Each structure stands twice: as C-alpha cells, then as structure tokens.
Structure 1
Amino acid sequence: MKPTQKLHDLRQSLWLDNISREMLDKGVLKKYIDEYSITGLTSNPTIFDHAIARSHFYDHSILEYSHKGLEGEELFFQLAIEDLRRAADLFSPIYERTFGKDGWVSLEVSPLLAYDAQNTFLEAQRLHQVFQRPNLFIKIPGTKESLPAIEKSIFQGIPINVTLLFTPQHYLEAAEAYMRGLERRIAERLPLENVFSVASLFVSRWDKATMNRVGDSLRNQLGIAIAKKTYKAYRDVLESDRWKQLAQKKANAQLLLWASTGTKDPQASDILYVKNLVAPDTINTMPEETLLAFADHGQIGEVLPRDGGNADEIIAQYHQQGIRVDELGQLLQKEGAESFVNSWNDLLSSLKKKASLLRAF
C-alpha cells in the first residue's frame, strides 16, 4: 500500500498546496487524485504568481481578457477562478461522496484586506457567489481584525479556510469565530449541516525562524511542538459541551489543517512535517515536491498524542534559549500577512507586464 493511501486510511486528508493551468491541462492533478489519494487543494498569491509568471499557459486568456479591459485584481481573479473551477470539478465526486467533508479547493481574498473586516467579508461574499461551485473555501487570514469577517461569513453560510494561524491561541480564536457564526445561524433558525470550515496552522515557518538560534538537538522541533499543542486544543474544542450541542444540531467540525509543510532546512528530512503530523480528522496540505517525496519514500510516524505529548517540554527548552514563543507567533503572523501582500503585488506586476508584452505582439 502506498504511504499516501496509508495516511488516508488513518483519516487524514492529503491536499495539494499548489495549482497551475499546466497541471490541469496535462492531467497532473487528476493523476495525483487517482494515484496519491489527494482529496483537496489550496492556493495562495505566491502559488499563482509562480504559475502565471513562469509559463505560457495563461497567455491566451490574459490577452483575451486584457482586450476586454480586465486588469489588476479583476484579471487575476478571472484567471484563478477558471483554474479553481476545473480543480473543483475534479474533486466534486469526493465532495459528494463525503457529504462535503472533503473535496475542496481554496481561494484567498486579497491580502491587502488582512486588517479590514468589512471589506474582507464583502469580498468573501462576492467570490463565493461568482465561483458557482459548492466546494470552494474562501481563505481569510486569522488576524484579530479579520475574526468578525470569519464569523459573519460563517453566519451567511460561506465556507471559510481560516489561514495564517501560528499558535494554539490563534486556532482557538478561529474556532470561536466559527462557533459564534454557527450559533447565530441557530438563532435565526438556519441549518448547520451545509456550513463548513477549516483552520490552517502554519508549521515550518517556526523552524525557519529559529533555525540558527538553537543547537542541533533542538533544531526543527518547534513547529511540531506547536502543532501538538494545537492538536490538543482542537480535541478539547471537539469534546467541549459547547461543541457537542452544536454537533447535535448537525454542525460540521472545523477541521484542523497543517499548512506550510514543506521542509525549509536542507539538512532535515524532506517529509519531516508529513511523517510527524499524522492525526485523524486533520488535513495535511503539502507542496508538490513534498507530496512526490512522501509518495516515493514516505514514512508514517506515531499518531499525534491527544494530550500534546512532549510539546510543553520542547517549548520550555526554546524559552531557555531566549525564544519567546508567544511573541514569535504574533511576529510570524504579521510577517506572513506582509509576505502575502508582497506576493500579491508581485503577481499583479507580473500580470501587467505580461499583458503589455502580449498586446505588443
């Protein structure tokens, strides 16, 4: 049995953290679904920037739409939605078979809105309506400023992928926003069974940030420790009386998703954040190279402990090295939001240049 299938059988979903028109046109995504148990897909501005700027697969569409007056964000979303609709259709049988528990694609609102709740909600609402497929998560960053947009979106029945979470506290805030949105639906006598969400915890950036600040004995351990603590918080939420009352009304669990699972340290295993983050009722969304590595030589470690295991001990050792984890978590979220803005600006710049060059010919 393939390692990817083994993970799937342990009730962990494998999603691909990548998309491109080339991948769709050449049948690569379908191959990953058929052969590597991929059941969903995530995207972000960096992924689309690489896909569009480094290939000619979008040239015809860019030229066509630019002649129609589309530019900037409007042009990007047109291209991205076309790709993601095709991917969503490939995942549709999984979505139907799992009654919406799996088979999703994700599209991010403009990163420029990370601290603007009202416009984030309006953009999430617009993208949800335009997409015309049921299996699209709108990605909203889990910044404090965006939490009201997440709650309101859930209240309106918009599927949300809460992104840019780095700490157990970030996760709990996302879970709180989700449950508040569901409770508002109950108050308005709206159904819960058709509302879905995931909460995306970024893992590898912890280790990248501390790589040169600790000795070899601690290197590449903080991200997994944070994930273990977050998994404990996740299980605590699902076993709480508050959640049980929602579940009795047919609410769907907001699944915990491991994001940023590509290994950043060239000295570490290329499947570090796959083999060490095995947990039922979670999702691991991985870059293409990580997926291929795991399919080739995957190893499955122990299932994450319900109680967090040695996470507190590891985090205490980082504290002894002068690393304040809570402060670092806030910094990582801030830097993550800024990096997405930079990628967004690069993406729009690439689109503008490409459209100008294509029109010149």
Structure 2
Amino acid sequence: MKATRQLHDLGQSLWLDNITRELLDDGGLAHYINEYSVTGLTSNPTIFDKAIGSGHAYDPGIHAKVLAGKSGEALFIELALEDLRRAADLFKPVFDATDHVDGWVSMEVSPLLASDTEGSIKAAKDIHQQAQRPNLFVKIPGTPEGVPAIEEAIFAGVPVNVTLLFSCAQYQAAAEAWARGIERRIEAGLSPDVASVASLFVSRWDVAVKDKVPAELHNKLGIAVSRQTYRAYRERLASPRWRKLADAGAHPQRLLWASTGTKDPAAPDTLYVETLAAPDTIDTIPEQTLHAFAEHGKVGGVMAPDGGDAEAQLARFTQAGVDLDALATQLQHEGAAAFVKSWQDLLQNIADRGAALARAG
C-alpha cells in the first residue's frame, strides 16, 4: 500500500499544493486523485504566477479576456476560477462522499487586502459568488486585520481557508473567529454548516532560525510549533463549546499543515509529511514532495494528541535566544509581503502577455 494511502487511512487528507492548466488538461490531477489519494488542492499567487509564466497554456484565455476588455485583477480572477472550477468538479465526488468535509479547492483574496478588513470581506463574498462551486474555499490571511474578516465571511456563509498562520496563538485567534461566526449564524437561525480550515505554515520556521541555533535544533522548530498547535486543536474538539456547535450541525474547522516541503537539502525530503501524520488534519503538499513521499515515504506513529515533547522543544529554542512570539509575527508579515510581490508580478506578467498576444493578433 502506498504511503499516501496509509495517511489517508489514518484520517489525514492529502491536498496538492499546486494547480496548473497542464495538470488539468493532461490528466495529471486525475492521476493524483486515483493513484496518490489526493482529495483536494490549494493555490496561492505564487503558484499561479509560476503556472502562467512557465508556458503558453493560458495564452488563449488571456487573449480572449483582453479582447473582451478585461484586465488586472478581474482578468486574473476569471482565469484562476476557470482552473479551480475544473478542479472542484474533479473533487466533487469526494466532497459529496465525505459530507462536505473533504474535496475542497482554494482561491486567495488579493494579498493587497491583508490589512483591509472591509475590503477582505467584500472580496471573499465576491469570489464565493463568482466561483459558483460549493467546494471552493476563499483564503483569508489570519493577520490581526484578517481575523474580523474571517468571522464576517463565515457569518455570511462563505467557506474560509485561513492562511498565513504561524503560531498556536495565531491559530487560536483564527479558530475563535470561525467559532464566533458559526455561533452568530445559529443565533440568527442560519445553518451552522459553513466549512473552514486553518492553515499553519511549518517549514518557514526552520528556514528562519537555521543560522541562529545549534545544529541539533535544525529542522525541529516547525514541528514543535505544529505539535503545540495540534494539542490546542484536539482540546478544542473535546470542548463543551465545540460539542454544542456539533450538536447544532456544524463541522469542525480542520487544522491544515502548509509549507510542508523540506527546504534544507541536508534533511530528508519527506521530513514534514512523515512527522506531521495526524488524524483529522490536512497536509497540503508540494508536487515534488508528493512524488517523493509516494515513492519512498514511510508512515510511522501518529502525532500525540497532547503535543508530545512540544513544550520541551520550544523551551530549548527560547534558551537558544529565539523570541518565538516576535518571530511568529515576523513570519506572518514576511509571508504577506511575499504574496503581495507574487500578486504584483502575476498581474504584470498577465498584462505583458496580454499586450504581446494583442500585438500578434
């Protein structure tokens, strides 16, 4: 049995952290679904920038939209949703079979709105309406300004993938926002079945501290933060507050591991996937890491619900001089800035490509 299937059987969903038109056109995504137990996917501005800039698959779509008078963000959103609708349709059988727990795809609101609560709320509603797919998450960053937007989007019935979470505290804030949105829906007589996932970014912790801590601590911080957060997640699922929501018909906001490709060439290429095996979670996995894990990955034990040695490991980093709270804030700011740059590059790439295609007739 493939390691990917073993993860699926222990209760963890594997989502592809990639989308390209070629993957849809050549059957690559369907292959991952059938052979690697992939049950969803995520996208972000960086992924789309690479996809559009790496070939000519998007040229006909860009050309047609330019001729129709489209440009900028409006053009890109249409282009991206064309791909994501096709992917959502491929995952619809999983979505239906799991009572809407699995089988999701994700589309990001503009990263330029990371500090704009009202703008994020409006954009989330607009994307949800435009997508016309029940299994499409709208990604909203879990920044301080994003947290109220998450609550309002959930209250409005928009499924949300909370992105750019780096710490247990940031996760807790996002989980609270989701719970408040669901509770408000119940009070208003609305359905509490509005799905959400909370995406914790893992590997960037280890990149950030690699040159600041002893070698024996390399590639251990992201895992320790993940274990600490998993404990908080399991505590929420065992709480009376959650039981009340579940009894009303809500599904839990699932914890998702993001950024699980190994960045250190000296570390195993399946390090994070193997270590983060945990029931009732999602691992959104880069394509290269998916291949590596399917070929030679191993599923050992599952993550301890109490977080195992997380606190002891985190204490070692504090003793080594790492300010964990400050670093979490820094990583969130840097992540938001990186997505802004990718977004701007993406829109410029589309504009340049559209102009060239228009000149060529």
Q: Please give the TM-score of this superposition, normalised by the length of structure 1.
A: 0.99
**AA matched with 1:348:** L
**AA matched with 1:215:** P
Partner of 1:278: 277
- 5 Å-filtered alignment, 1:159-178, equals 159-178=159-178
Partner of 2:111: 111
Partner of 1:87: 87
Deviation of 1:250 (Å): 1.2
Deviations 1:118-176 (CA, angstroms, capped at 9, x unpaired): 11010100110111110000000001111111101111111000000000001100110
Superposed CA RMSD in Å reads 0.7
Partner of 1:196: 195
Long gaps (5+) in structure 2: none
Deviation of 1:222 (Å): 0.1
Distance, in Å, in 2 between the alignment partners of 1:175 and 1:240 is 13
Partner of 2:204: 205
> Which segment drifts farther, 28-37 or 69-78?
69-78
Deviation of 1:242 (Å): 1.0
Q: Report the 3-state secondary structure (helix = DSSP H, G, I; strand = E; otherwise coil) of the residue aligned with 2:301.
A: coil
Deviation of 1:299 (Å): 1.0
Distance, in Å, in 2 between the alignment partners of 1:312 and 1:186 is 36
> Which segment drifts farther, 67-76 or 225-234?
67-76
Deviations 1:8-47 (CA, angstroms, capped at 9, x unpaired): 0000000000000011000000000000000000000000
**AA matched with 1:158:** V
Q: Report the 3-state secondary structure (helix = DSSP H, G, I; strand = E; otherwise coil) of the residue aligned with 2:112.
A: helix
Distance, in Å, in 2 between the alignment partners of 1:26 and 1:119 is 37
Deviation of 1:306 (Å): 1.2
Deviations 1:220-248 (CA, angstroms, capped at 9, x unpaired): 00000000000000011111111111111
Distance, in Å, in 2 between the alignment partners of 1:298 and 1:37 is 14
Q: Report the 3-state secondary structure (helix = DSSP H, G, I; strand = E; otherwise coil) of the residue aligned with 2:145.
A: helix
Q: Report the 3-state secondary structure (helix = DSSP H, G, I; strand = E; otherwise coil) of the residue aligned with 2:99.
A: coil
Partner of 1:8: 8
Distance, in Å, in 1 between the alignment partners of 2:191 and 2:20 is 35
Distance, in Å, in 1 between the alignment partners of 2:95 and 2:250 is 17
Deviation of 1:301 (Å): 3.0
Distance, in Å, in 1 between the alignment partners of 2:318 and 2:192 is 42
- 1:355 corresponds to 2:354: yes
Partner of 2:333: 334
Q: How many residues align?
A: 360
**AA matched with 1:298:** G
Moved over 3 A (4+): none
Deviations 1:162-196 (CA, angstroms, capped at 9, x unpaired): 00000000110011001100110111111113x10
- 5 Å-filtered alignment, 1:27-42, equals 27-42=27-42
Distance, in Å, in 2 between the alignment partners of 1:186 and 1:74 is 34
Deviation of 1:320 (Å): 1.5
- 1:299 corresponds to 2:298: yes
- 5 Å-filtered alignment, 1:112-261, equals 112-193=112-193, 195-261=194-260
> Which segment drifts farther, 14-23 or 320-329?
320-329
Deviations 1:234-271 (CA, angstroms, capped at 9, x unpaired): 01111111111111111110000000001110111101
Long gaps (5+) in structure 1: none
Distance, in Å, in 1 between the alignment partners of 2:257 and 2:223 is 10
Q: Report the 3-state secondary structure (helix = DSSP H, G, I; strand = E; otherwise coil) of the residue aligned with 1:100.
A: coil
Distance, in Å, in 1 between the alignment partners of 2:185 and 2:132 is 22
Partner of 1:308: 307
**AA matched with 1:178:** W
**AA matched with 1:102:** D
**AA matched with 2:243:** K
Q: Does structure 1 retain, via aligned residues, the 8 Å contact 2:183–2:192?
A: no
Partner of 1:287: 286
Q: Report the 3-state secondary structure (helix = DSSP H, G, I; strand = E; otherwise coil) of the residue aligned with 1:228.
A: helix
